[in-house]
Structure 1
Amino acid sequence: MRLTLLLSLSILFANVSCKAQSTTNLKMVDASATKETQKLYANLHNLKDRGFMVGHQDALAYGVNWKYEEGRSDVKDVTGAYPAVYGWDLGGTEHKSDKDIDGVPFVKMKQWIKEIYDRGGVSTISWHMDNPLTGKNAWDITPNSFASILPNGAKHELYKSWLDNSVKFFLSLKGSDGKAIPILYRPFHELTGNWFWWCKNNATPEQFKEVWKFTVDYYKSKGVHNLIYVYNTSMVSTREDYLEYYPGEGYADILSFDNYEYNDPTKDHSFVENNLKLFGIMDTIAKEQNKIIAFAETGYEQIPYDKFWTKTLMESIGTYKISFVLAWRNHGWQENEKKMHYYVPFKGHPNEKDFVDFFNLKQTLFQNDVTPVQLYK
């Protein structure tokens, strides 16, 4: 009896010690981050040992064949639970628009972010920012666009004014407890691609690092202390490529990448193989720097494969301990492309069973799994 008690106590203390070690020496980008933001970051470190959170872009705003229905989500329609992570976008704030790039009213977005925080979910935000040099959209890759926002650049003051608009947005995010709501912020996403004006084909590593650091320091100087900074690339194949534009461990809290399935996964295994390789690269860096890794955007448009979630996606993550995976939005009918555009099954979708099976896996965490964890406490 005494031996059993001693063994139990030793296991208990070992578990406590392991948990303490996992969040020991955590250094956030913002040393003045709010208590709730620090708690979230520490809890994300611990939670990854249990599994990974599942997210969905614009999850509460709209879905296939519906929009702005209180309490609704395609994920919830299919599984009975909300996602654990909710993606949003700031595109439009640069012009003080009342709606984001996807037509979501910012007033509603703030309301949903508050609801998410109140129930213990996590919000992540990207920014499809217009090209400051030309005034065109984020996909305009006119040369020297990125250089224009460097300090002393032609559009630096304009860029600062756009940042000021986002500062107001971030500072306005308050929970029912009156506290600032922590946000996983993913600026300049997919930076190693070639489709946005901020991508590597339009900026040198030195330019990118300078702007990233300026941006982070600017937010902190304006009193924004509820951001967890997410460094995000598209698909790369080497450590050198992943770190070429990396601003340094003092300027990133989470390491991530985006990648989508475009081919039949029963015939083409490159999605799985490439993801595993990049997760391995990020995992090594994260362990060296005590960071978290994540799959910040993914999906298979219209999900034509009946085992995408339980086989393709799960195999592409493997045994790596990632923080979250976020599927892209369920826009529905895309008029300009004359096709359906969605990445998560909706009620009645032929492959919704696989998503339910994915939901029931031990390592996939949805809102019902993370609410009891109390991520902000």
Structure 2
Amino acid sequence: MSSTTPADLTLDPFDPGIHADPYPAYRRLRDAAALLPYRFGDVPVTLVTRYEECAAVLTGSDWGHGYSAGISPFRDATAAIPGSFVRMDPPDHGRYRKLVAKAFTPKTIAELTPLAGRVVDDLVSKGLARGGLDILHDLAVPLAVAMIPVRLLGADPNRGAEFRRWQLAIARGTDPDWLLEPADVTERATAAGACMAYFGELVARKRAEPTTDLLGQLIADGDHLTEAEIIGLALLLLVAGMETSINLIGNGIHALLRNPDQWELLRSRPELIAPALDEMLRYDAPTQFTIRVALADTEVGGKQFRRGDGVVVLTGSAGRDERVFANADTFDVTRYAGNRPARKHLGFSLGVHFCVGAPLARLEAETAIRTLLERAPRPVPVVDSVEYQPSLIHRGIASLPVTL
């Protein structure tokens, strides 16, 4: 694994050595400049470090992914998956997104709310009976499995361990290949093959016996989707949907446990839970960076970009930008409450690629935190420090055991 640091700095934002806490490094990058030259593997690109410039790229119509136009300087395995609209540009992006978005409407989320409550209540009850649980393994992961592959896709509830294993390997593999070891690339290919084979069989069964879940609806919409696209969309929902919600719950509860005054504030004022989720997404976002390509000659932050130029948008850095967020390194569950909330965070991105599954991720996290506050009001961490999953684009804790 090799990389090249910005010419005027002695740090690399993708150095595994800063993985446990990248935020001091992000601050140094922001202090240096909003836009910095960088070699992303062997690709010369620009790092976007500050909030205003990150937001401008994410919302700008001159920015996209450029794969369909053949102008992207990035090599991304995700872009080759049929139906993977996260790497598409309009109008194709909008067509696929519209088909999936029906699973995340306010009406659908309201229908899923009782299920989320039952699942979390059962998981917490088991933890209370044992005297403790792991926030990731015993709460966030089984909740995500119940909601995404089981409820939305109609998959086998007994294969949760496989879904998690596939999801982790593919999520790790969404890091650029130059950040991966050979074993990571092999595991990504193996997991993707197994996952697509499973969903291929599931699609065949649902064709024979139609269902009303999201996967069944995608199959019924056969005039618009090929078999490969349906399977690709199922894989995308499994990986992106599970990874975002699991890491939001893990990172968020970790922040609360490290700031017990904020945990106690939520206990006394549970109406703050919803805005607290926004603070969690700002403070320690599940997604730390994304890539974009200039679709036309354009300008951001006083710098001219030519069509085909690539940028790496450091959304994790933007969330700690003190130019936008007062006391940016302080975790404050009231930051997004009241009549004058803080600026919108980039934890779910912005613009046309705003996370389509955000409502479900919020439902899962709010349900998990609310239930813990009510039924296990003073969890105590078992370990002093945590380890993170190896992925750099996805920031998530590997394990967070607590006593109840």
* TM-score exceeds 0.5: no
Normalised by the length of structure 2, the TM-score is: 0.26
Higher strand share: 1
Higher helix share: 2
Normalised by the length of structure 1, the TM-score is: 0.27
